[in-house]
Structure 1
Amino acid sequence: MNFDLTEERQMLQDTLRRFLRERYDTATRNKILESDTGLSTEIWAELAELGVIGALFTEEQGGFGGKGFDISVVFEELGRAGVVEPFLDTAVLAGGLIADLGNDDQQAHVEEIIGGSLQLAFAHGEPTSRYDLTRVGTTATEKGGDIILNGRKAVVVNAEAADMLVVSARESGGEGDADGISLFLVPKDAKGLTVQGYALLAGGRAAEVTLDDVAVPASARLGEAGKASPAIEARVAAANVAQTAETLGAMETACALTKEYLGTRKQFGRPIGTFQALAHRYSDLLIEMEQARSAVILIAGNLEADRGTRERYVSATKNLIGRVGRLVGEEAIQLHGGIAMTQEYELAHIAKRIIMADHRFGDVDFHLERFIALAAA
């Protein structure tokens, strides 16, 4: 099989890599991390103008990509540069759900997302849900023509900067049931909505979101009442393509920085990379990286497959990327020594991104168990 990129995807990759190389260095990122919003509106607007967000939506939705390989190309480059802007949360998750389920009026928001003028957050995870997508305790109750939302959402990435939140809530069934979950578009300034933000270890910001009798019109519902669970699962699958590709890009940077350091740091009058023990450890990283790349290709190529096949590859890839990522992060730091832990050095941020990626959308243990269950089913 030919795994070379198409001409259009190669152009997208080259353009994005060149832009980030020129505009997104360690000092720039550190300045963004210290800001109140955790993102650069200037960088966001420039990347939107380059068509980066448009590549994450299909032509029918107003973009020019939207397939698994389009997502992986974009996010591998974002991961390679250590970009902290919330493309995954605004475009792939929240924006993708609007594109998948929204009516004509709601679909108009997709154009704003692609143009870079609308920030979104996906408020789904809850304090007790862990990685279970169906464990939704937030309630949605009809009252006088409105929908009243009550509950709490945890670690909602980009909630502070978002203009609007896509909130999951249960209209029927018990906590843990797939049926009964709905999605609602909730304005950031809605009465009763409280956002308590904080910085994330790997960059960007998240928040604890409390909904206390938040009233939205019935027209704020995305899709059919109580039928949002399959769409959420499909969008999280796309998010896993994005995150595993992003982690792969980060691992490539970690390996490149390690190679450069091994070639320049000297002991006993020679580069430490010429010592056999260190050379073998670095070679092991390159072998594991190729396996990780194959896994990302596998998940990207099966994003549009049937649900069973798609979800098996999601769990298989997440498990492998988590294991390889930990190895690459730890070995890169050890091969560098103390300098790898300083904020001014690129690897410090990259290593944190690699390690923390395993704790979103399910860690290695969760996905190993899930893969076994899916394969048995």
Structure 2
Amino acid sequence: MDFQFSEEQSMLRDTLARYLADHYAFEARRAAAQSAAGWRPDCWRAFARDLGILGAAFPEHLGGLGGLDSGAVEHMVVMEQLGRHLVLEPYLGTVVLGGNALLHGSPELAAQWIPAIIGGEATVGWAHAEPASRYCRHDVQASATRQGDGYRLSGHKHAVAGAPFASHLLVSARSSGARRDQRGISLFWIARDTPGVTLREYPTFDGQRAAEVLLDNVQVPASQRIGAEGEALALIEQLCDHAMVALAAEANGAMARMLADTIDYARQRKQFGVPIGTFQVLQHRMADMYMQLEQSVALTQVAAMQAASAAPVRAQSACAAKIQAGQAGAFVGQGAVQIHGGMGVTEELAVGHYFKRVTAIDLQFGSAEHHLRRYADLLYPAGAAA
């Protein structure tokens, strides 16, 4: 398998890396996270208009740069750089989830809204999880009741990342009367300011923003349904697997930054008159951190390259990448904090914030423990011949 980036992908990575190095210093990020807005709209506009990264994975006929297959490799390239700088802007919800949902589920909505996503004018919150669903993708209790030529949606969506600054929400709901199994789930594209949509906003422990989304008889025309009625689960599965790979890439970027900061600190911090980086036990620990990171990078690359494969292959590779990213994130984060000593958990030092972010990533779309079980189920399906 060829792990080399194309010339266009390398240019995308280098351009974004230079911009973030110049405009997204840790103190600027920290100030944005503590501000009333919770993000940096000026950077989002720059992503769209100056760098063009929001369109890198979309086809040219919609105004994009023509990403290959599912665009997963382009998403991986972008998300790794965003992870290196703890970027707050909603690339995952808007481009990876929102854009792909429109692209693969509704050509009409894609033609209308993907240019707005590429231009930075539309941002998206992924409103699928519910308070009682944990990581079960088909446990949807929000209801979609037919009314005339549209639907009436009611329900409660939990921990919707980026919702406080989203212009639109992607909402899953079950058709009225459908059983609580894998059938009957639809996906809807809803403007955040639609009457009946209420957000309860809050900050998350990693410095980002999320919200509980309450739907109270929200009127949605049938034209805003993505795909066929009651047939959205396969698309939701695909989107969640793509999001897992993108999050693994973000974790890789954060781990790379933690490792680099830890090595620099170990070269400067002295005990007994010598840098602590000369101590063999710490050298071994940092070498182990490096190996964990490299394994995560390799599995993420495999998952990105298999994102357009058949569902079982895609799901297994996405699980493997998410498992390793979660386990490696804990190992690298703990090592970075321990080698930094008490400074590692202070608000002023970046390493603690990176550790919080990789911890949050492990909990998004299923923890490492959850996906270990899912991987085993995919590899050995129930009822399969021994």
Q: TM-score, normalised by structure 1?
A: 0.97
The one-letter amino acid paired with 1:15 is T
Query: Displacement, 1:191?
Result: 1.5
**Corresponding residue number in structure 1 for 2:52:** 51
Q: Whole-Å Cα distance in 2 between the matches of residues 111 and 51 of structure 1?
A: 12
Describe how 1:1-377 pairs up with structure 2 within 5 A.
1-49=1-49, 50-64=51-65, 65=67, 66-171=70-175, 173-175=178-180, 177-377=181-381
Kindly, what percent of the aligned residue pairs are identical? 39
Q: Whole-Å Cα distance in 1 between the matches of residues 296 and 91 of structure 2?
A: 22
**Contact persistence 1:146–1:217 (CA under 8 A):** yes
**Corresponding residue number in structure 1 for 2:384:** none
Query: Displacement, 1:68?
Result: 2.1
Query: Displacement, 1:159?
Result: 1.4
Q: Whole-Å Cα distance in 1 between the matches of residues 346 and 61 of structure 2?
A: 46
Q: Whole-Å Cα distance in 2 between the matches of residues 70 and 306 of structure 1?
A: 20
Q: Whole-Å Cα distance in 2 between the matches of residues 68 and 234 of structure 1?
A: 11
Q: Whole-Å Cα distance in 2 between the matches of residues 22 and 157 of structure 1?
A: 26
Q: Whole-Å Cα distance in 1 between the matches of residues 28 and 40 of structure 2?
A: 9
Q: Whole-Å Cα distance in 2 between the matches of residues 14 and 149 of structure 1?
A: 44
**Contact persistence 2:109–2:224 (CA under 8 A):** no
The 3-state SS of whatever aligns with 1:283 is helix
**Contact persistence 1:86–1:204 (CA under 8 A):** no
Deviations 1:83-138 (Å, cap 9, x if unpaired)? 11110011111222122212425531100000101111111100011111111000
Q: Whole-Å Cα distance in 2 between the matches of residues 210 and 226 of structure 1?
A: 21
Which deviates more, 325-334 or 338-347?
338-347
Deviations 1:201-225 (Å, cap 9, x if unpaired)? 1232110011111111122211111
The one-letter amino acid paired with 1:221 is R
- Over the residues paired in the alignment, what is the CA RMSD in angstroms? 1.3
Deviations 1:250-271 (Å, cap 9, x if unpaired)? 0000000000000000111110
Q: Whole-Å Cα distance in 1 between the matches of residues 210 and 9 of structure 2?
A: 31
**Contact persistence 2:96–2:242 (CA under 8 A):** yes
Q: TM-score, normalised by structure 2?
A: 0.95
Q: Whole-Å Cα distance in 1 between the matches of residues 59 and 76 of structure 2?
A: 14
Q: Whole-Å Cα distance in 2 between the matches of residues 367 and 229 of structure 1?
A: 18
The 3-state SS of whatever aligns with 1:300 is helix
Q: Whole-Å Cα distance in 2 between the matches of residues 367 and 174 of structure 1?
A: 26
Query: Displacement, 1:61?
Result: 4.3
Which deviates more, 362-371 or 89-98?
89-98
Structure 2 residue runs without a partner (length 5+): 382-386
The 3-state SS of whatever aligns with 1:238 is helix
**Contact persistence 1:125–1:154 (CA under 8 A):** yes
The one-letter amino acid paired with 1:110 is I
